[in-house]
Structure 1
Amino acid sequence: MNHATIDPTADTATGAAADATGGEALLQREQRLTEALRPFAVVTVIRAQPPTSAWVGAQALLEEDGALHGWVGGGCSRAIVIQAALEAIRTGAPKLLRISNAPAAAEDGVEMHAMPCASNGTLELFIQPTLPPPLALVLGATPTALEACVLAQRMGFAVAAAASVTVPLAALGLRQVVEGYDAAALAALAPRLVLVATQGDADEDALEAALRGPAAAVLLVASQRKAQTLREAMHRRGIAPQRLAALHAPAGPHIHARTPQEIALGAVAGLVALRRQMEEERAAQAPAEHADALPVVLPCESMAPAAPAPAARYVNPVCGMAVDIASARHVIEHGGQRVYFCCDGCKVEFEREPDKYLPAARGVRETT
């Protein structure tokens, strides 16, 4: 599992409300990720019961590597939110999250978590993942290929194309157009699906380039007889049998197509069918693959088991976590000594019952 990281510009010492600039920065980051075909999740606070540093409407954006941008609460809830958002990205399903120690009956569709910090506040958050559309690469500039580019975009695919002559493709608003069928250049696009609609224009070169790339499936617009001839040609060119298994010909369901528009319709139907099939397979595999991958959420901001504290660290008297003195944001003066906390919840708990934690605080020594 990827290790979660925190955007150092995301927080302030007080957790003050985000201004318009912060919201705009999240929107700009979301736009960049969308354009780059990168998955992400937007987390929105829909309920906040004090004591908590979050507020209703607060938002954050989580990238697929665990980087969190924005503010939806302090260290006590952040680890839980990151884990839940990463899972939402993996499955593509939204989540409704509740983090609280208050007694509550289980609700369908609500993922319940205990609040690991002593503050005992309550947070409810909605997590909406955004998965990029799969990139479909269309090979050819035939009438069928041009129509397939248009239809595939309407069906929600990100579409790139390659052809010997690229002029006909220029006006279609595609993500990228490549001239020729160089296998390395096409593999660099990392298409999920490839549709070969060359129909007599460098068929073998185009099909070989497609099969030598990373695409999960290669769909070929051809009759069964021609498809068999091309399979044999690919075998002679050194394409391994297991890679040839990725070839689908005919490209889509049999719809008695005659015109280029009808042929393209059937081929794009094949793209849609394979896309949904892959999504279902991924969703079915995600729980099994990641059931043991999520780390245990430890109290407060700790993301790893307790270890000997490095230099200039202090042991939080409430939860026992080692706090870096130089960067500590939650500090109070009590009884003539400075007391450091990992989060606001622990500080509030100490202030509520200082006598309970004073022996621990007095016994603490800064590590050197």
Structure 2
Amino acid sequence: MNDDTLLQLEQRLIEASLPFAVTTVIRAQPPTSAWVGAQALVEADGALHGWIGGGCSRAIVIQAALEAIRSGQPKLLRISNAPAAPEADVENHAMPCASNGTIELFIQPTLPPPVVLVLGATPTALEACVLAQRMGLSVAAAAKVTVPLAALGLPRVIEGFDDAAFALLGPQLVLVATQGDGDEEALEAAMRSPAAAVLLVASQRKADKLREAMRARGIAPERLAALHAPAGPCIHARTPQEIALGAVAGLVMLRRLLEQERAAEVSGAGTADKLPVVRPCESMASVDLMPVRYVNPVCGMEIDIASAKYVVDYGGQRLYFCCDGCKVEFEREPGKYLAIARQRETT
């Protein structure tokens, strides 16, 4: 199998979200049929494609590649009968071939990105979907109304908060960003999913209330330990975009911690750091997130911000309008309508 064919196979496995490892010969000391730069690809079932030398070392390489796939960590492998000083991070094996040569290999595993399920169609949820994809995560979404999610081009969108559909999807992480639109229903479905961690976009006060609601709905205390709220580190977020940024930072952190745990389990080094509960800073503890419904500052109509089409960013705020006429009117006299909006908030 030539290099082009290996690359094509690698691409097919990536597109199919299947794990594999690429082994590259980085040193070859004769007598051996391997050469520096020779490569092979090992699939999760142990099938080897390519060439890394004769059959004598094949079983050793396959076993090491499978271990790398399980741990998610790369390996340096040395197969030789020649004496050598121990080196950190180099795995040594005796050369079983009568030729008695030496080969050294680098094994790089490639694993499918973890599946992240985002619940909600709020502006925060939509922003989180986009950011999480940019972070290399495999993103699916679910909401009671899925129309706002359609433009994101996600591979999987689920209508409603369906336990069975979530179990079939098998997400590693769930981000609940419903923000007032079916919070309890969404969070319960998330907690009953197989996800290793559930992140909740909410203030600390609201998160505490939802924890109590989950207990009342029969979620076991040990399962509630997987709930992380607030969803990410404190960045003093105010806008939906900023809130989404913090939440996705939480997803990235938990992804890496899960990888560490998997590597520690495979190596037998014991359990890595437990998944942390992300604590809010004082300023975030009392901040309630943006409501799902919003009052148009021009005409006073109530707007569903998840499906709002007419939006203006002004002075660090995002404002929503029912029609283009209201949007244009606001842009003509923003100060006037911001004052009206502030007056409504105080009455």
Q: TM-score, normalised by structure 2?
A: 0.72
Compute the displacement of 1:60 (Å).
1.3
1: CA distance between counterparts of 2:150 and 2:32?
Answer: 53
Match status 1:177 vs 2:162: no
Q: Which residue of 2 aligns with 1:44?
A: 24
2: CA distance between counterparts of 1:35 and 1:96?
Answer: 27
1: CA distance between counterparts of 2:119 and 2:241?
Answer: 16
**1:57 partner amino acid:** G
Of 248, 261, 265 in structure 2, the residue corresponding to residue 285 of structure 1 is: 265
Moved more, 167-176 or 202-211: 167-176
**2:240 partner amino acid:** P
Alignment of 1:322-361 (within 5 A): none
Compute the displacement of 1:289 (Å).
7.0
The DSSP-based 3-state class of the residue aligned with 1:74 is coil
Q: Which residue of 2 aligns with 1:349?
A: none
2: CA distance between counterparts of 1:252 and 1:105?
Answer: 45
Compute the displacement of 1:49 (Å).
3.6
Moved more, 149-158 or 32-41: 32-41
Compute the displacement of 1:243 (Å).
1.5
**1:149 partner amino acid:** C
Of 231, 256, 268 in structure 2, the residue corresponding to residue 276 of structure 1 is: 256
Match status 1:189 vs 2:189: no
Compute the displacement of 1:220 (Å).
0.9
Q: Which residue of 2 aligns with 1:258?
A: 238
**2:153 partner amino acid:** G
2: CA distance between counterparts of 1:138 and 1:185?
Answer: 13
2: CA distance between counterparts of 1:134 and 1:246?
Answer: 16
1: CA distance between counterparts of 2:253 and 2:26?
Answer: 36
Q: Which residue of 2 aligns with 1:166?
A: 146
How has the CA–CA distance of structure 1 residues 256 and 108 changed in structure 2, closer, same or farther, with 3 Å as cutoff?
closer
**1:203 partner amino acid:** D
**1:193 partner amino acid:** L
2: CA distance between counterparts of 1:274 and 1:102?
Answer: 43
Compute the displacement of 1:226 (Å).
2.1
Q: Which residue of 2 aligns with 1:215?
A: 195
**1:186 partner amino acid:** F
Q: Which residue of 2 aligns with 1:148?
A: 128
The DSSP-based 3-state class of the residue aligned with 1:153 is helix
Q: Which residue of 2 aligns with 1:228?
A: 208
Match status 1:238 vs 2:202: no
**1:29 partner amino acid:** L
Q: TM-score, normalised by structure 1?
A: 0.68
Q: Higher RCO, 1 or 2 (CA under 8 Å, sep at least 6)?
A: 1
Compute the displacement of 1:64 (Å).
2.5
Gaps of 5+ in 2: 271-347
2: CA distance between counterparts of 1:44 and 1:190?
Answer: 33
User: Cα RMSD (Å) of the superposition?
Assistant: 2.1
The DSSP-based 3-state class of the residue aligned with 1:60 is strand
2: CA distance between counterparts of 1:107 and 1:272?
Answer: 32
Match status 1:73 vs 2:53: yes
Identity %: 80
2: CA distance between counterparts of 1:254 and 1:78?
Answer: 50
Compute the displacement of 1:254 (Å).
2.5
**1:126 partner amino acid:** F
The DSSP-based 3-state class of the residue aligned with 2:248 is helix
2: CA distance between counterparts of 1:144 and 1:61?
Answer: 40
The DSSP-based 3-state class of the residue aligned with 1:213 is coil
Per-residue Cα deviation, 1:288-324 (whole angstroms, up to 9, x for no partner): 179xxxxxxxxxxxxxxxxxxxxxxxxxxxxxxxxxx
1: CA distance between counterparts of 2:8 and 2:142?
Answer: 30
Q: Which residue of 1 aligns with 2:67?
A: 87
Q: Which residue of 2 aligns with 1:57?
A: 37
Gaps of 5+ in 1: 1-17, 291-368
2: CA distance between counterparts of 1:110 and 1:69?
Answer: 23
Structure number with larger C-alpha Rg = 1
Moved more, 260-269 or 169-178: 169-178
2: CA distance between counterparts of 1:80 and 1:256?
Answer: 52
How has the CA–CA distance of structure 1 residues 258 and 58 changed in structure 2, closer, same or farther, with 3 Å as cutoff?
same
**1:58 partner amino acid:** A
**2:234 partner amino acid:** H
2: CA distance between counterparts of 1:82 and 1:263?
Answer: 44
Compute the displacement of 1:240 (Å).
2.0
Moved more, 181-190 or 31-40: 31-40
2: CA distance between counterparts of 1:164 and 1:263?
Answer: 21
Moved more, 214-223 or 111-120: 111-120
Compute the displacement of 1:217 (Å).
0.6
Alignment of 1:115-130 (within 5 A): 115-130=95-110
Compute the displacement of 1:185 (Å).
0.7
